[in-house]
Structure 1
Amino acid sequence: MVQLVQAVLSLLPLSSTLFQNPQQSIVPPLSSQSIAIVGAGSGGLAILKTLLDLPEDVRSTWEIVLYERRKDVGGLWLEDTRPPSPPRLPESPVYPLLHTNTPHPTMTYPGFTFPPGTPLFPSHEYMWKYHVDFAEKHNLTQYIRLNHVVLAAGWAGNSTTGQWKLEVARTDRLSEHELRSFDHLIVANGHNHYPRSPKWDGEDDWLASSPPSQPKREILHSIYYRHPERYINRTVVIVGGGASGRDAALQVGRLTKTYQSLQEGSLPPDGAQVTVKPPISHFTNTSVVFTDGTALTDVDSLILATGYQFLAPFLVHYPKNSGVSSPALIHSPDSSVNSTTAQSLTTNTRYIYPLYEHIFSLSPAFPPTALAFVGLPVLIANCPSDRAQALFISHAIADPSVLPSRGEMLDALVLREENLRERGYDPYYYGHKMVGGDSEAQAYQNALVRYLKQQGKLPEDEKDYVEPWRVMARQQSQLIGRAWSRVEELGEQNKWLDGVRTEDEWADVMQRLADWQVKWEERHGKDFDTYA
């Protein structure tokens, strides 16, 4: 089978019928099905909605349950308002000043826009409410069990047949476990919860040697970051240049002496008041020492913007008294185990493998449609990507013959990994990242949907899933962001947003903003302090 992510990047308009009628020819199920979904973020809501979009005669006998451990839907966008208290992990990494770094129309489920008047780069409150509105609009809440945690999940069966045994509890009654059985398990628990915190030689001694005249030294992951004012009168090193690292640099750097430790070739965000340093080498009792041999003796705080681990803890435990004796997911750092030799589904905390198209487990322990993941790809617009994955999963559950053979799927996975190596990327390190940027991310989504069309599961046409306006807006995201900053400085938000409701209208606003900003920068250059 042709590797899906190598699809041709012909970016044509999306047919509006794709989501009004997301099925064409589906083999009716031979029997009733039961499906458990874990997580009510963008991925969980996408797969729940897409399963319910299947024809009534296909899913009428299905049981579909979504378990969400928190009090509402929205995933990471649902803020944890409790003060951070290490080592307790916050329920969300969201911080009060968090805004999206891409225009919100590019991040939406196809056909479901943000409300009129939403700022183009909204705060996290808007993002959370968007998911709430999506769930309510499509009557998803009746299938969602809030405040329910899946403690363990194990497969009772073999490579062709069996069931999942799930140990579930209410979050307010964790000692009272319920054992449930399901035919399919869909994991949509996100990947921004378990911090990846590097360790350096000497850091414990450095932490224990705080000078009496200075604040107590600390090393905290960015999951605990909330208010930049907390760092006033401290000297800070921000480690990493991802989204949270860029925000911390912009927010903390304007208030106190700040360094940013970056890999070679990385740069701090425009406007950040930081001094760039190379990666950290080690610590002494008095210093943070960098790989170029330089050292800093006045540092009080490190903010580790170093990413998160790919974990699904409930899959590494099997329910008590369930008849299951081995975990569904092995946590192994063994670099000698790869997609072709792994005897079980495996995570090295950067990569879950072997998975077909970042979705279906190729573990020999159970059928490929028994376990699926939504939302693993990184550096991608989540809601549209989750929707594309959800379409693929839904049709494969309804008709498993949609999928190639296990051998063909494994061959395709190995081809993808080899392709990454040829481009200079270790697939077991870069994992689920779309390293080719938006072009690769869009090709991935287009290919999933195009394959379903070729299989007769969606209406056949020549249009790509990712619409041209999303492509344009993603390509010009920074330009549009600079334009929107000018709009806010001028107080002209209403002028641009008045009456904007549909996708076409949002697309028009973004294109006009991009054109407006280009003309302004041709006259003035990128002088962000003066909007004349």
Structure 2
Amino acid sequence: MNASTRLLILVTAALSVAAQQTPFAAPNQNGSPQWTVFHHPIKRVAVIGAGPAGLQAAAKLVEHNFSVRLFDRAPSPGGNWFYTDETPVREPYPDRPIDQGADVPGELPATRYYKEQEEGVSLEDRWKEHWQPRPVWDNLHTNSPKVITELPDVPYSADKPWVLSNHDIQRHVRAYASFHNLNANDYPTSSSAQPVTSYSTRVEKLEKLNDTQTWRLTLRKLERLPETGQIKAQWWTEEFDAIVAATGPYASPHVPNIAGIVDWSKVKDAGQYSVYHSQSYRRPERFQNKTILIVGASVSASEIARDIDPYAHRIIASIRPHDNLHPFQLRSLKRFPDTTEFVPEIAHFEPLAAHDRGIKDGVIRLINGTELHGIDEVIFATGYIRSNVFSMPDSGNTSTSDGEPENLHWTGHNISDPTLAYTNVRPWTIGKYQSYAFAKIWEGTAHLPTQKQMQEDYDNGKYRFRGLFGTKQSEGESLFRQYVAWLNNESLENGGRFVETWPIQNREVFVYYSNLEWVEGYSTLGNFTEFETLPASEWPSGKRDAAAWDAIVYDDQAW
């Protein structure tokens, strides 16, 4: 079973757009639908994922007096910024299709105790497969300034450098979780209240119940028992009126299907694999005096190369040719150490004589006919598979081939069933607005258009913001303005707090940073998210319209 896709959705109740129109319709004075109204009051909400997006959603829902449960498969909050020295279970070679199966006992609740090597799986791998350690290394720093990498309520100190280490961000996210009583060791404010958080807990199944129009989550929690040398697994179900999916679009590491790669992936040297994905990289010391081949040219490739450069004997980077480089891609290329040797793509890996003596004697043939010899280790910095593991084909919510959710209103709500919502914006900047919107919509102090109107707007491309799943850079500022105007209008009519636009001083810092760190002329104070300040012909790539906020932070398969 694919270790990186165990947070799964299996929708067993057949839903259709037509069947959902009636419960969500609200007539106006003429008897026509006016806005979306839910089947019953929304009281109990589940948030899946305790990264920067999920934490904000949970905090805002608690603030608005919802009964909230926050689930995360990791033992602590942070999402991708939860660093540990633990590495994920080894990636498959080659990539396997997204696995939609879940091992759930026939009768729930259920409890099971696992021993070492039970079913041929070590306790360590069972634990890591469950929570999936994040692909963050010890010396990772952001490539975005702190003014656009900050959660509300817990500002960084004024003297904190604008380029933050992953440890700074991890502390920052933990501080936000603790501030809102959402950390792993936080308890309910009263003895009668149910705990909000459930860490080390994975959502195995999500289904909509037709008779009650509620959601049922099947959950699995793992607990390590050092005193007995076992792992305790518990399965149970809980029901909710609404769901926030805050798990992000990246489900599992991508390994290209190159001839010979499966054979090479089996090779070990001194007990360690010689070929592996960058998700397992943690520290540079092991690369002392080694020759390293890095496959890829995106963020993780260049930053890992910089990290190991003081130790490695030789660094080689295999990259694809790109005709039109986006500024973020150009930045990554420029950040490779000066000593890096660039070579073209790999054609195939020649067969090896043995699997227990490393790959130093192996031959790697490139597409231009040349060969590489003497490689000690190969790091595949080839990105991650984008997958919407909460796609709901029966309810009209599907995913594109690259995992991008479809049929979403710009607020993140599933048009066919707006009791399911996604955190599909950049959490550091627009997350606080979207979280407030979730709370206002479900409490009735803000309204969504009718489903018919939302669908028409979506089909016509109106107000279709993709957020983390692929929004154009030019839509970033528009989405800021749209959220502020819409939320304040709804509060004016229905009650609630007003929100403010992004502070001008933050814009000034961002402008300075982007021009210094990305591309000179990238932005101005008047327009800090567009590429209009430079004509396309003057971009180093000759192209200016392919940006996405997530390109600042993540790698995808465009390596």
TM above 0.5:
yes
In structure 2, the CA distance between the partners of 1:397 and 1:118, relative to structure 1 (3 Å rule), is same
Amino acid at match of 1:198: P
Aligned to 2:301: 245
Find the counterpart in structure 2 of residue 432 from structure 1: 469
Q: Cα deviations across residues 210-263 of structure 1 (Å, max 9, x unaligned)?
A: 9x9x99873311110112232334332222333222211212344232222334
Q: Could you tell me how far 1:468 is from its partner in structure 2?
A: 3.0
Question: Paired residue for 1:5?
Answer: none
- Contact 1:237 1:259 (C-alpha < 8 Å) held by counterparts: yes
SS at match of 1:303: strand
Post-superposition CA distance 1:323-347 (Å, at most 9, x none): xxxxx646xxxxxxxxxx9945336
Match of 1:198 among 228, 237, 256: 256
| 2:83 is the alignment partner of 1:79 | yes
Structure 1 position 132, deviation (Å): 1.7
Structure with the larger helix share: 1
Q: Which of 325, 328, 341 is matched with 1:275 structurally? A: 341
CA distance in 2, matches of 1:207, 1:472: 48
Deviates further, 27-36 or 192-201: 27-36
**Higher RCO (Cα < 8 Å, 6 or more apart):** 1
Q: Which residue number corresponds to residue 471 of structure 1? A: 507
Q: Which moved more, 1:78-87 or 1:250-259?
A: 78-87
Gaps of 5+ in 2: 1-36, 92-124, 189-195, 224-230, 352-361, 519-524, 526-559
Change in 2 beyond 3 A, CA 1:177/1:450: same
Matches within 5 A, 1:117-128: 117-128=159-170
In the alignment, structure 1 residue 387 sits paired with structure 2 residue 468 = no
Aligned residues: 407
- Structure 2 residue 285 is the aligned partner of structure 1 residue 229: yes
1:52 paired with 2:62, answer: yes
Which amino acid in the other structure matches residue 483 of structure 2?
Answer: L
Is 1:167 the counterpart of 2:203? The answer is: no
The code of the aligned residue for 1:307 comes to G
Does the 8 A contact of 2:364 with 2:372 survive in 1?
Answer: yes
Cα distance, 1:186 vs structure 2: 0.7
Cα pair 1:75 1:190 within 8 Å, conserved: no
Please give the alpha-carbon distance, in whole angstroms, between the structure 1 residues aligned to 2:57 and 2:163. Answer: 26
**CA deviation digits over 1:489-521, x for unaligned, max 9?**
xxxxxxxxxxxxxxxxxx9xxxxxxxxxxxxxx
Sort the Cα spacing of 1:126 and 1:294 in 2 relative to 1 into closer, same or farther, 3 A: same
Matched AA of 2:219: V
2:550 is aligned to none
Equivalent runs, 1:365-380 vs 2, <5 Å: 367-368=417-418, 370-374=419-423, 376-377=424-425, 380=426
Q: 1:188 to 1:84 in 2, by over 3 A?
A: closer
Residue of structure 2 equivalent to 1:104:
146
User: Which residue of 1 is the match for residue 26 of structure 2?
Assistant: none
Check whether the contact 2:344–2:366 (CA below 8 A) recurs between aligned residues. Answer: yes
CA contact 2:388–2:399 (8 Å) conserved in 1: no
5+ long unaligned stretches in structure 1: 1-26, 316-327, 331-340, 421-426, 483-506, 508-532
> Which of 55, 72, 81 is the aligned partner of 1:68?
72
1:355–1:413 contact (8 Å) kept in structure 2: yes
SS of the residue corresponding to residue 345 of structure 1 reads coil
Separation of aligned partners in 2, 1:342 and 1:31: 21
Is 1:298 the counterpart of 2:374? The answer is yes
Q: 1:64 to 1:440 in 2, by over 3 A?
A: same
Question: Paired residue for 2:204, among 145, 151, 155?
Answer: 151
Matched with 2:477 is 442
C-alpha displacement at 1:78, in angstroms? Answer: 1.9
Name 1:42's counterpart in structure 2.
52
Per the TM alignment, residue 198 of structure 1 is displaced from its structure 2 partner at its CA by 2.0
In structure 2, the CA distance between the partners of 1:280 and 1:35, relative to structure 1 (3 Å rule), is: same
Inter-partner Cα distance in structure 2 for 1:176 and 1:461: 41
CA RMSD of aligned residues (A): 4.0
Say which is worse superposed, 30-39 or 456-465, in terms of deviation.
456-465
Partner residue in 1 for 2:530: none
SS, match of residue 309 in structure 1? strand
**Which SS does the other structure have where 1:102 is aligned?**
coil
| 1:343/1:402 CA distance change after superposition, 3 Å | closer
The 3 A distance-change label for structure 1 pair 431 and 108 is closer
| 2:249–2:469 CA contact under 8 A, matched in 1 | no
Identity %: 20
2:320–2:345: 8 Å Cα contact kept in structure 1? Answer: yes
CA distance in structure 1 between the aligned counterparts of 2:174 and 2:201, rounded to whole angstroms: 18
8 A Cα contact 1:104 1:121, kept in partner: yes
Against the structure 1 CA distance between its residues 271 and 347, is the aligned structure 2 distance closer, same or farther, given a 3 Å change threshold?
Answer: closer
Q: Measured at CA, do residues 228 and 179 of structure 1 come closer, stay the same or move farther in structure 2, by a change above 3 Å? A: same
Report the residue type matching 2:86 in the other structure: R
